[in-house]
Structure 1
Amino acid sequence: MSNQIKDHNTNLKNFSADCENCFGLCCVALPYAKSADFAFDKEAGTPCPNLQSDYRCGIHKNLRKEGFRGCVGYECFGAGQKVSQVTYDGNDWRDNPALAKEMFDVFPIMQQLHEMLCYLNEALNLEDAKPIYKNLQSALEETEHLTNQNPKSILELNVQAHREIVNDLLLRTSELVRSKVSHKKDIRRGRDLFGAKLKGADLRGANLRGAMLIAADLRESDMRVTDLIGADFRDADLRGANLIGSIFLTQAQVNSAKGDSTTKLPPGLRIPDHWIKVG
């Protein structure tokens, strides 16, 4: 099992943003609207005013304070550096304006593919998923192949169709992993749990895929062996919660929540700088 954890940690690094090797694509390609997560409106293809000439964020250390919590909770899963350094071979959009729009259109597609790769890699490191390892490996290899195509081919991809194939495998993985928990809390998939009072709740083996857990009180809750793929943890209170053994939890989800050093996270995920340090 220790080798599996080591492999999974390595894979997490491979599917995490490497901003030093990206042309600030998330800060340019993606739109956002003024809200609790963003301080102002920005159109797709327009550089954020905080993007510097070296493609670094000028307020990176103060994003939450400056009203950009949405940036803290965003993860490209390594798509930024893939598009910048592989798909476009290091040719950036500032020096090659003719490529800009195409690059910005390719980026969100690559982000979806890399997100799938991240989850598939995790699934392949789960002992309980052994019965479908071959299927998972095949899906991973096909997804990797799609990421290595030229821009025109990437733009023509039917991403939704491929996502459905991958999602079916991730659902099967989830069922295999969670089957070892005999008494699961019955929570409808995708349920709106906005502000839910779940302090100390036993959520082991629950299916919280896509659950709206915004501002939920999850202090001291037990989320071991819980499927958390796509769960919205914005401002959820995870102090003292146990998420070790949960599946498909990302650093971006953790970053969007509130917690402290008593929160138990899966290997490879770290306590965010804005969390309260205890002791």
Structure 2
Amino acid sequence: MQIDEQRIKEVIDSITEEVKTNLSSESKEYIRFLQQLIEEGIPIPVLTVCGKGTQEIRFTKYFTYYLDETQLHGLKDKCLKYAFDIEAKEAGLSEDWYKGCNVYAEYNLGTLPGYNVNNYVDILIQGEGFVLCIEQKLFSGESNTNESNLGQLNRYSLAMAKNENFKDLQFIKVYLTPKESIPTTSNDWIPMSHETIILRLLPLMSDENLSLAAVENVKRLLLDFILGPYGSTTKVINQLHTLSKEVVKNGFPVSKTKAFIDAIKENHLLLEILRGGKYK
């Protein structure tokens, strides 16, 4: 059987051209969006830019502010509801569990009998018949003390159980970390990642009942969550913009265009936040 090399070449060329056309079309939308960001500017994530995101207590107080409906962020109780509604419903709380809650940062749960060690949980939210505790870690893992020899989360759980202020209340405990680290000393804390919080709060950016100020506030919170302590929005956008210029300059070659689109998809959450929750 004779092989028609010319025909094979034509088929390969045709497939290559089709792939190139599809990639070119997809990449042009991303390129237009990047050019718009470069020209118009981007929202500034406060903690990340000033370097305070590396200090856990600053990040904790920042998130606490948004969870507190009495603060003037414009979100009322929606941030609390959207962030932890799934855990609240799984715990059997009422439909409006998030209303009228007291929200505290660095709350002292008290000491354990026999140990002179105060136990400060990062965020405590007290509502009707329940307590929601959030312990957040950016770099370090759970700590322990030489005196008690107990893991941090285990110590907090025991302190809560002993605290008379929480008698007969239901506990929900969340261990919040950038990559959903699993608690090592206590199995009654729910592991949660920053990405989970982002995905849950993202719909707020397209909530037509919120003011422009409220939407802008939640956008900045999500940018700090997605970038983490060391991330830089400007650096990411500039890297993507450089890749896009290479693609255009070289006439949308398949390899460079695919690499550009892959980089876009790797940063899709960041771009979705910058576009107000409506990336595509």
The answer to whether TM tops 0.5 is no
What TM-score, normalized by structure 1, do the two folds share? 0.22
Q: TM-score, normalised by structure 2?
A: 0.22
Which of the two has greater strand per residue? 2
Larger radius of gyration: 2
Higher relative contact order by CA 8 Å / sep ≥ 6: 1 or 2?
2
